Structure 1
Amino acid sequence: MKILITGGSGLIGSNLLSMLEGNEITVLTRNTTQSKAKLGDVHHYLSTLEALNNLDEFDVVINLAGEPIVAKRWSEDQKREIENSRWLVTEKLVQLIQSGKKPPHLFISGSAIGFYGKQDDHAIDEEFIAVHDEFSHRLCAKWESIAKQAESEKTRVCILRTGFVVSKKGGALSKMRLPFKMGLGGPISHGQQYISWIHIDDMLQGILHLIGNSGCHGVYNFTSPVPVTNNEFSREFAHSLNRPCLFRVPSFVIRSLMGEMSTLLLDGQRVVPKRLQESGYTFLHPELRGAFLSLIKP
C-alpha cells in the first residue's frame, strides 16, 4: 500500500512507521532534514501539500499532525497555534481527497478524549453526547467535523479519540518518570478523577485493525477498557518503579503552574472503547499493572 502520514515524528507516528514496514510511506513534515535524521531515509518526505492536486496516488492517509497540546501554557496565541496546526492540515487533506477521481480508500484522522470535556465518573462511550463545552471539546469537535467531510462511497473515515498514551519512551509518562523514580511522585489533587489511558502497543495495533477491516468507520475511543483513577494510576506507576507513592500534588499548585490547561490533569473522564471492541479488537494490555510491567522489561 501507499500511505501518507502527517505527524510522523510524534510519539504515535514514529512508532507506527516501524509497524508499517513493507508499505511505501510518505511523511508530511515541516522539517524534512530533521525528520529524515530521526525516522530514516527509507521513507519519502513532503514539506508541503501545496504541490499536490489530489491524493489519488495514496491508498491510506493517516493524519496525526498537531502542536502538542501541553507544550506551552494556553495563551490565546498558543490556543490558535494548537487549533491551526490541526484544523488547517486536515482541511487541506480533505480538499485533496475530494479533488481526486480515485481517492484513498481510508482516511484516519486524530482527535482526543478531550472531545468530551470534563466529566464525572460515569463510563463514556462513543454515543455520549452530554459533552462539557470547553477549549478541548471545541478543538476536537471542529477537528472531527472537518475530517468527516472526506467521507464518501470511495473513502471511509475513522476518527481516533485518543486517551493518555503510556509508552517506554516519549509522551507524558516520560516526564513523570524522574519524580516518581526519586520517590517524589504521587496523585494530583484528590486523585478521584479518572485517567483514560492506552498502551502504545494497543494504540498501534488498533490503528492497524482499522486499516485492515473495511467495515470500520466513524469515531473510535482509543483507550483501555479499564480506565483508572489518578490515585490508582499513581500507585501502579510507583509500584512498577519499585518506589513509594507518598506525596500528593495540591490542585492550587497545578492551577498556578498551568492555568486553564490544568483542567487536563484536574478533571477526568472515564472513557471506554466500546466501538473498537465491538469491531473485534482484543486489547493486548487491558489492565494498567500489566501495561506498566511491559514497559520496564528490557
Structure 2
Amino acid sequence: MKIVIAGGSGFVGQKLTDTLLNEGHEIIILSRKDSKIDGNIKYVKWLQEDTYPENEIISADAFVNLAGVSINEGRWTAEHRKQIYASRMEATDELLRIISALQTKPAVLVNASAIGIYPTSEDNVYTEESLDYADDFLGQTVTDWEKKAVSVESEGIRVAFMRFGVILGIDGGALPLMVLPYKLFAGGPVGTGNQWVSWVHIEDVAHAIAFTLSNPQVYGPVNVTSPFPKRMKYFGKTIGSVLHRPHWIPVPSFIMKIVLGKKSSLVLEGQHVLPEKLLNNGFKFHFPTLESALNDLYKKDV
C-alpha cells in the first residue's frame, strides 16, 4: 500500500514507519521541512504557507494521523494545554483538506486517539462499547479530535481511532521517567498504588496500526492496550523485579502534583481498558504481559 503518515517523526511514528517499510509498503511522511526523498521514504512539506501536499501525493491507499504536541513533555500549563489541543485540531483539519482535494480517495484513515477519553476509575472496565466519556481536559481533547476525524466518513472512507494506552518504549513516552527512580534505587509505590495502568509495548502499537490498515472490518474506536492491564503498585514492583532494584520508597500524591502539576493525573489516576476489538478480530500481541514487555525493553540493562 501507499501510506501517508502525519507525525511520522514522533515516538510512535518512527516505529510505525519502520514496521510498514519492513512489510513492503510505500511511505510518504508529511513534514514541516522541505520535501525530499530519503531512501524508501518520501517527505512532503505541509502546514506551511503556500504548501499543497496533495499535488505531491496525488493518490494514496491510506492515511495515518499521529500529529500533535506530545502530552508527555513539559508541564500542563494553560499555554501547553492550548498547544496540545490546537496542534491536533489544526493537523487534522489540514489532513481532511488534503484528502478532500485528492481525486482518488484513500480507503482508510487511521487516527490517533487515547484511552484518556474514558473517565478515570479504580472499578470500571472499559471496552470499545463503553460510551461513558471523561469531561476533563484530556477527555474533551480526545472527544473533539475523534469527532473531527470521523467527518471523512462522508467521503466513503473507513475511519479507525487508535485509543492508545500508556505506551512503553525506551526512546519516548512515559516509561523512561517511570523507570528512572528504580535505576537510582529510589523506586516505590506512586500515589495509592491502586490506580490502573493500561499499558502497551511500542512494537504492539505499530503492529496494531498496521493490522488496522489491512483489515477493513476494523473501524471506529480501537483500544490499543495490552489484554492484561495492571495496578500501579504491581507495575512498579515489576519494574523493580526486571531491573533488579528495590521497590520501597513511596511517592505521595501531593509530591507528584507539585512536580508535575495537572499532568500528575497521568500517573495518579488511570483506567482499566481492554482491547476487545483487536482480540475479536484476531490480532496477536507480541508482548501481552508486562513482564515480557519490560524484559524486552530492558534486556540490555539486566
Residue from 25, 36, 41 that aligns with 1:43: 41
- State the aligned residue count: 294
Mapping of residues 165-184 of structure 1, within 5 Å: 165-184=167-186
Per-residue CA deviations over 1:49-85 (Å, capped at 9, x if unaligned) read 5313576511111110110113122222211110111
Pairing partner for 2:212 from 206, 210, 221: 210
- Give the residue type in structure 2 aligned to 1:119: S
Kindly indicate whether the alpha-carbon contact (under 8 Å) linking 1:97 and 1:103 is maintained by their aligned counterparts in 2.
yes
Say whether 1:15 aligns with 2:15.
Answer: yes
Given the superposition, is the C-alpha separation of residues 128 and 182 from structure 1 closer, same or farther in structure 2, using an over 3 Å criterion? same
CA distance in 2, matches of 1:184, 1:57: 53
Q: How big is the shift at 1:296?
A: 2.6
Gaps of 5+ in 2: none
CA distance in 1, matches of 2:202, 2:168: 6
SS at match of 2:174: helix
Aligned pairs for 1:92-131 (under 5 A) are 92-131=94-133
Q: Does residue 69 in structure 1 map to residue 71 in structure 2?
A: yes
Q: Mark the CA change 1:40 to 1:231 in structure 2 (over 3 Å): closer, same or farther.
A: farther
Q: Does 1:200 align with 2:202?
A: yes
Give the SS at the match of 1:25. Answer: strand
Q: Distance in 2 between matches of 1:199 and 1:53?
A: 33
Distance between the aligned counterparts of 1:123 and 1:159, measured in 2?
19
Whether contact under 8 Å (1:104, 1:154) holds in the other structure is: no
Partner amino acid for 2:45? S
Q: Which amino acid aligns with 2:235?
A: F
Q: CA 1:7/1:53 → structure 2, altered by over 3 Å: closer, same or farther?
A: closer
Task: Check conservation: 2:116, 2:139, Cα contact below 8 A.
Answer: yes
Deviations 1:110-151 (A, max 9, x none): 011111132232211111122231000000000011111111
More displaced 10-residue stretch of structure 1: 275-284 or 151-160: 151-160
State the percentage of identical aligned residues: 36
Deviates more, 1:113-122 or 1:154-163: 113-122
Given that 1:59 and 1:104 are in contact with CA atoms closer than 8 Å, whether structure 2 keeps it comes out as yes
Structure 1 CA distance for aligned equivalents of residues 248 and 75 of structure 2: 28
Query: Cα RMSD over matched residues?
Result: 2.0
- Given that residues 196 and 232 in structure 2 are in contact (C-alpha distance below 8 angstroms), is that contact kept between their aligned partners in structure 1? yes
Give me the whole-angstrom Cα distance separating, in 2, the residues matched to 1:186 and 1:11.
Answer: 27
> Hey, what does 1:87 align to over in structure 2?
89
**Residue type of the partner of 1:44?**
K
The 10-residue stretch of structure 1 (132-141 or 24-33) with the greater mean CA deviation from structure 2: 24-33
> Does the residue aligned with 2:63 lie in a helix, a strand or coil?
strand
With structure 1 as the length reference, what TM-score do the two structures score? 0.92
| Structure 2 match to 1:149 | 151
Conservation of the 8 A alpha-carbon contact between 2:107 and 2:158: yes
**What is the rounded CA distance, in whole Å, between the counterparts of 2:221 and 2:173 in structure 1?**
23
Query: 1:101 and 1:179 mapped to 2: Cα distance?
Result: 53
Of 267, 271, 279, which aligns to 2:273? 271
Q: Does 1:220 align with 2:255?
A: no
Note the C-alpha offset of 1:47.
2.5
Query: Which residue is equivalent to 1:233?
Result: 235
Gaps of 5+ in 1: none
Distance 1:270 1:236 in 2: 18
